[in-house]
Amino acid sequence: MNVGGVIWIGANIYTDSSYKFQTYPVPRGFYEEICKTNKSLDLEEFSELEVFGNGKYDPVQTTVLLTKNQFNVF
C-alpha cells in the first residue's frame, strides 16, 4: 500500500460477542494490535450510521479505515 492509501474494512468491532448485528465480527483491540505492531498504519473507527448516514445501521455497528502513514517498518 502506498503512503496515504486507505483500506476500508467493513468489519464490526465488538466487545460482546453475542451482539446480533455482527456481519464480520472482529474483537475489540484486534486492529489496535496490528497498528501497534506495524507503526506504518493508522486506525480510524467510525460508526456505520455516521459513515453511511441512514437509519439502516445499528448505532453501535462500526467500520474501520487503515491508512498508510510515512513511518516505515523494516
Q: What is the overall mean pLDDT for the chain?
A: 78
- Cell reading at 41: 498504519
pLDDT band at 67 (very low <50, low <70, confident <90, very high): very high
pLDDT at position 68 is 92
Q: What are the tens digits of pLDDT across the range 14-33?
A: 776 666 665 667 788 888 88
| The three-state (H, E, C) secondary structure of 29-66, written as one string | CHHHHHHHHCCCEEEEEEEHHHHHCCCCCCCCCEEEEE
pTM, two decimal places: 0.67
pLDDT at position 34 is 86
pLDDT at position 23 is 64
